[in-house]
Structure 1
Amino acid sequence: MQHVESTLGPDVPIIVWSPRDGARFSLDELAAYLAEVKDRISAQLDENGGVLLRGFDCVHTSGDYQKVLDVVAPDLMDYVGGTSPRKVVNGRIMTATEIPGSYSIPLHQEMSYTDNSPDRISFFCERPPEEGGQTTIGDMRAITRAIDPKVRERFETHGGVQLCRNLPLPEKVASRPGVPKTWHEVFATDRREEAEKVAAKSGWRYEWLDDGSMQLWQEVRPTTRQHPRSGDDVWFNQVHIFSPVSALKWARLDGRTEAADRLARALEEAPQLLDHMRYGDGTEISAEDVLHIYDVLLENETPVQWQKGDVLVLDNILVAHGRKRFSGDRSVLTALIQHAH
């Protein structure tokens, strides 16, 4: 082995790979080495949930990151239907998010509100932030055990969860609370008929509202998902992000007072224009249960401080990710990995 393995702590489900004895790698040498040991990477992702390549000092740009991905995760996917604002950087490599640094991001598994979620997700630190901005990590096996069994039972009894979104026109975004995505961004088109085709193909119900926005009901999803290799059945949804009551708590914890006030007014005046989640049978989820889920995830997050050139790969079922607030410049890129299980 040309690398050594360590951990970030007893409760962090990530194995850190670093060069053995300070060995130096060129980018081509690292790619060749990773090709030799990619089965070991895959096995560690299935068992632990994450692998962090750190200290190799040869991954500097999105092109370098792509070369690493070509070896360890050659089958990348697009972000059609995703909720976070992102920019394409290179091929299917994107910015991790365009959500401002004044926002934290709660733990979540990528696109767990759709049937087409990635099997794994990768991140690359091009520039670490000046202050804050750690990526948070959560072991979903431990988090699932921490959720009140009665709460889990209620979700299962009511047939899972469904995300309902309101996707505005670009000129209406500034008037909405939070950081909403337009239907142009979600469907990568400015033509209604094209957006309708993608929605229909995905099995999503939609309605055009008088203000030009699209009301979109995505597929009903189970609340948990079983890992196909480890067999672990873990919590797998984003009810704690898309329920207005938890979004309000999130804004207040971040200190985003103005955003919290706008959200509170929208809840009173136009709740139909806010993203929300319901049980799969269409009934409302209680605020108490939503906030219980939010609190469990918050209590189980572990911050990981970025170093320049880090490449992180996570199993998207076993490990959730999020972000701390930050100030200054921060550049973290991401890629969504399919057909890995």
Structure 2
Amino acid sequence: MCNLGEIMEILNIEVQGQQNIEGKPFPVVFQPREDTSYSDFLKWSSGQKEWFRKTLQEYGAIILRGFPVESSEAFEQFLDTAGFPRMPYLGGAAPREKVTPGRVLTANESPPSEPIPFHHEMAQVPNPPAYVFFFCVLPPQEGGETAIVHSNRVYKRFAAIDPDFAEKVEREGVQYIRVMPDQDDPKSPIGRSWRSTFLTDDRAVAEQKMKDLGTTWTWLENGNLRTQTATVPAIRTDSRTGMKTFFNSMVAAYTGWVDSRNDPQKAVCCGDGSAVNGDTLEKTAQAMEEEAAKIRWQRGDVMLIDNKLVLHARKPFVGPRRIVASIAPDDSAEST
């Protein structure tokens, strides 16, 4: 039990699907000891900025279950009150729609039969978010878990599977290649158009943003845009914990960046331009599944993820599912 101030007490509970990492639950799941009002919940949240960050650093991810968050607007207000700054979704691959005027977007709404591979959010851009948040508006009848896996565990498995390739991508970094459509393609898990990706309809503005990111590009005759990122790290060391992390989208790109415009086996390469080892990435994907926590959503659940330490994925599902999302930058004095 945690007594964080006089407003509300919370309990650390066990739920099916949690993993155990060095004696700690992953994710850690909290619920209020007793029913509380939304106004008291916000009062409590306003005093927990440092607690949320320290707890996320310690456990990697938090689920708040049974708290009085009943709408996307309430979810947004909670994030603002808890001191997580807003951040535009600039550079992500998934098609998304705004849910609130402020910061809440739809989660990746690719077809329910298709899994979304494990990834750090926006690992393909130079400045990815530090935190990712999800809120369950409507849980599906079956499946649809937002599975999570600790990146340090993945790094250790990856390095054990193929030490030479692990050393190479740590030294060389990686680049990502993607063809963006002219208009959003909601049928594709990577169907975010260049207009939505760069938040403009002006090619010149998009080009300036790509130049700022170090991205090279080619405009195609049909209006699509082929992009190749600058070299970005594949393995990072988290400055807070000293942990090495598998901070990249190699597995997601190689196994999941597929649609009518994109060949996943050409979606990622090493920083020197050479091909990645597909067999190693397939084995790493299996290792991720073995290490992952998969917890069934309940209506009103809030999931907070430290994006520097934890990858997430989406499992196939049956029935309507409504999960919304938001992100936040690193606002600490020292960033990784």
Q: TM-score range by the shorter chain?
A: 0.7 to 0.9
The one of 140, 161, 167 aligned to 1:153: 167
- Contact persistence 1:160–1:223 (CA under 8 A): yes
CA–CA distance in structure 2, aligned partners of residues 166 and 35 of structure 1: 42
Match of 1:212 in 2: 223
Q: Residue 7 of structure 1: CA displacement?
A: 4.2
Please list the CA deviations of residues 50-97 of structure 1 after superposition, one character each: whole Å capped at 9, or x if unmatched.
1111112x2111111112101224302111110011111111110111
Match of 1:255 in 2: none
- Contact persistence 1:120–1:316 (CA under 8 A): yes
**Residue 270 (structure 2) pairs with residue 279 (structure 1):** yes
Match of 1:117 in 2: 128
Match of 1:329 in 2: 320
SS in 2 for 1:303: coil
Match of 1:98 in 2: 109
CA–CA distance in structure 2, aligned partners of residues 38 and 78 of structure 1: 21
- Contact persistence 2:198–2:209 (CA under 8 A): yes
SS in 1 for 2:66: coil
Q: Residue 178 of structure 1: CA displacement?
A: 6.0
- Contact persistence 2:19–2:27 (CA under 8 A): no
CA RMSD of aligned residues (A): 2.3
Alignment of 1:108-257 (within 5 A): 108-147=119-158, 148=161, 149-157=163-171, 159-170=172-183, 179-243=190-254, 246-247=255-256
Alignment of 1:39-118 (within 5 A): 39-56=50-67, 58-90=68-100, 91-118=102-129
| Amino acid across the alignment from 2:291 | N
The one of 10, 24, 42 aligned to 1:3: 10
- Contact persistence 2:238–2:244 (CA under 8 A): yes
CA–CA distance in structure 1, aligned partners of residues 188 and 64 of structure 2: 37
CA–CA distance in structure 2, aligned partners of residues 127 and 73 of structure 1: 26
Q: Residue 307 of structure 1: CA displacement?
A: 0.9
Q: Residue 300 of structure 1: CA displacement?
A: 2.2
CA–CA distance in structure 2, aligned partners of residues 156 and 99 of structure 1: 31
Q: Which sections of structure 2, spanning at least 5 residues, go unmatched?
A: 4-8
Match of 2:27 in 1: 14
Q: Residue 179 of structure 1: CA displacement?
A: 4.5
- Contact persistence 2:139–2:299 (CA under 8 A): yes
Q: 1:177 to 1:107 in 2, by over 3 A?
A: closer
Q: Identify the range of structure 1 (176-185 vs 84-93) with the bigger mean alpha-carbon deviation.
A: 176-185
SS in 2 for 1:199: helix
- Contact persistence 2:120–2:311 (CA under 8 A): yes
Please list the CA deviations of residues 265-319 of structure 1 after superposition, one character each: whole Å capped at 9, or x if unmatched.
x75xxx9xx8611100111113223323322223322211111111111100111
- Contact persistence 2:95–2:193 (CA under 8 A): no
CA–CA distance in structure 1, aligned partners of residues 268 and 109 of structure 2: 23
SS in 2 for 1:314: strand
Match of 2:45 in 1: 34
Q: Residue 177 of structure 1: CA displacement?
A: 7.2
Number of equivalences? 315
Larger proportion of helix: 1
- Contact persistence 1:106–1:298 (CA under 8 A): no
CA–CA distance in structure 1, aligned partners of residues 266 and 82 of structure 2: 35
Q: TM-score when scaled to structure 2?
A: 0.87
Please list the CA deviations of residues 90-128 of structure 1 after superposition, one character each: whole Å capped at 9, or x if unmatched.
111101112121111111110111111000111111111
CA–CA distance in structure 2, aligned partners of residues 102 and 164 of structure 1: 25
Please list the CA deviations of residues 138-190 of structure 1 after superposition, one character each: whole Å capped at 9, or x if unmatched.
11121111112333113234x1100111112239x59x976522212212222
- Contact persistence 1:54–1:310 (CA under 8 A): yes
- Contact persistence 1:120–1:340 (CA under 8 A): no
Q: Residue 340 of structure 1: CA displacement?
A: 4.1
Q: 1:275 to 1:83 in 2, by over 3 A?
A: farther
Q: Identify the range of structure 1 (131-140 vs 146-155) with the bigger mean alpha-carbon deviation.
A: 146-155
Identity level (%): 29
Q: Which sections of structure 1, spanning at least 5 residues, go unmatched?
A: 252-258
**Residue 325 (structure 2) pairs with residue 311 (structure 1):** no
| Amino acid across the alignment from 2:302 | V
| Amino acid across the alignment from 1:154 | K
